[in-house]
Chain A
Amino acid sequence: MTTPFKNLILPVNKGLLWKEWQQNRMYFLVAFLIMSYDPLIKPLGYGIKDLLGAGAGRYTVTHALGNISGLLSASYHNTFEQMGMYIVILLGVIILVQERSGSLNYLVGTPVSRTEIITAKFLTGSAAITGIIAINALFMIIVGLLLPVSYSTGLVLKWAVLTTAVFLALFSLGLLVASFTGHLLSALCLSMLFTGLPSMLGAMIINYNTIQIFNFSPAFILKVNMIIHYLTIPAYISRDSEYMQNAAAAVKYCPNYPLETFLLILLMGLFVMLAVKWFKNNPLENNGQMLMSGNATHIAQIVLATIIAVGNASMGAESIGGFWGFMVITFIVAYLVIILLSALVYYIKLGR
Chain B
Amino acid sequence: MELPAIDICKLEKAYDGIIAIDELSLSIPQGSILGLIGPNGAGKSTLLQTLMGILLPDRGDAFILGKSILDSGPDIRQQVGYVPDFPIMYPRFKVEEMFALAQRLYINWDENKCRGLCNYFKIPASKRVRTLSRGMKVRTALVLALSIRPRVLILDEPTAGLDPVARRAFLKAMIDEAAEGGTTVLYSSHNLNDLEQTADHIAVINQGKLLLTCSIDELKNSIHKSQVVFAADNPAEKVINFLPGLIEVSKQGKIYTFTASGDQQAFREALADLNPTIIEPVNLSLEDVFITYMKKEGYSYDYAI
Contacts and interface: CB of A to CB of B under 8 A. Distances in A.
Interface of A: 13-16, 18-19, 22-23, 101-103, 105-106, 108-113, 116, 281, 283-285, 287, 293-294
Contacts of A116: 74
A285 B97 contact: no
Given A103-B91, A106-B90, A111 B15 contact: no
Contacts of B75: 111
B89 A106 contact: yes
Given A101-B88, A105-B84, A111-B106, A285 B74 contact: no
Describe A's contact surface by its main secondary structure.
helix
B82 interface: yes
Given A13-B105, A110-B102, A283-B55, 17 more contacts: A18-B104, A19-B104, A22-B101, A23-B90, A103-B91, A105-B49, A106-B88, A106-B89, A106-B90, A108-B53, A109-B52, A110-B106, A111-B74, A113-B74, A283-B56, A284-B56, A287-B16
B93 interface: yes
A18 B101 contact: yes
A101 B104 CA distance: 23
B77 interface: yes
B19 interface: no
30 contacts: A15-B101, A18-B101, A19-B90, A22-B93, A23-B90, A23-B92, A23-B93, A101-B88, A102-B86, A103-B89, A103-B91, A105-B84, A106-B84, A106-B88, A106-B89, A106-B90, A109-B53, A110-B74, A110-B77, A110-B102, A110-B106, A111-B75, A111-B76, A112-B74, A112-B105, A113-B73, A116-B74, A283-B56, A284-B54, A285-B15
B253 interface: no
Contacts of B208: none
B87 interface: yes
B54 A109 contact: yes
A113 B71 CA distance: 12
Nearest to A280: B56
A109 B102 CA distance: 11
Contacts of A109: 52-54, 77, 82, 84
A285 to B, nearest CB: 6
A19 B101 contact: yes
A101 B130 CA distance: 13
B164 interface: no
A103 B74 contact: no
B144 to A, nearest CB: 9
Nearest to A115: B74
A103 B88 contact: yes
Given A14-B104, A15-B101, A103-B88, A111 B56 contact: no
Interface string B82-123: 101011111111000100111011100000000000000000
Contacts of A16: 105
Contacts of A281: 56
Nearest to A289: B16
B16 to A, nearest CB: 4
Residue of A101, A102, A109, A116 contacting most chain B CB atoms (<10 Å): A109
Contacts of B298: none
A285 B46 CA distance: 10
B198 interface: no
B106 A294 contact: no
Contacts of A13: 105
B274 to A, nearest CB: 54
B68 interface: no
A111 B17 contact: no
Contacts of B106: 110-111
Contacts of A103: 88-91
Nearest to B83: A109
A111 B102 CA distance: 10
A13 B106 CA distance: 12
Residue of B76, B78, B82 contacting most chain A CB atoms (<10 Å): B82
Contact of B52 (A22, A23, A108): A108
Given A103-B88, A109-B82, A284 B55 contact: yes
B62 to A, nearest CB: 14
Contacts of B56: 281, 283-284
A108 B17 contact: no
Residue of B82, B90, B97 contacting most chain A CB atoms (<10 Å): B90
Contacts of B16: 287, 293-294
A85 to B, nearest CB: 27
Nearest to A282: B56
A16 B105 CA distance: 8
Contacts of A105: 49, 54, 84, 88
Nearest to A293: B16
A204 B213 CA distance: 64
Contacts of A284: 54-56
A9 to B, nearest CB: 15
A106 B105 contact: no
A84 to B, nearest CB: 25
A109 B97 CA distance: 17
Contacts of A283: 55-56
Contacts of B86: 102
Contacts of A15: 101, 104-105
- Which 7 A-B residue pairings sit nearest by Cβ, starting from the closest? A15-B104, A102-B88, A294-B16, A111-B77, A109-B52, A111-B78, A113-B74
Contacts of B102: 110
A109 B87 CA distance: 12
Contacts of A113: 73-74
A173 to B, nearest CB: 25
A84 B75 CA distance: 39
Contacts of B93: 22-23
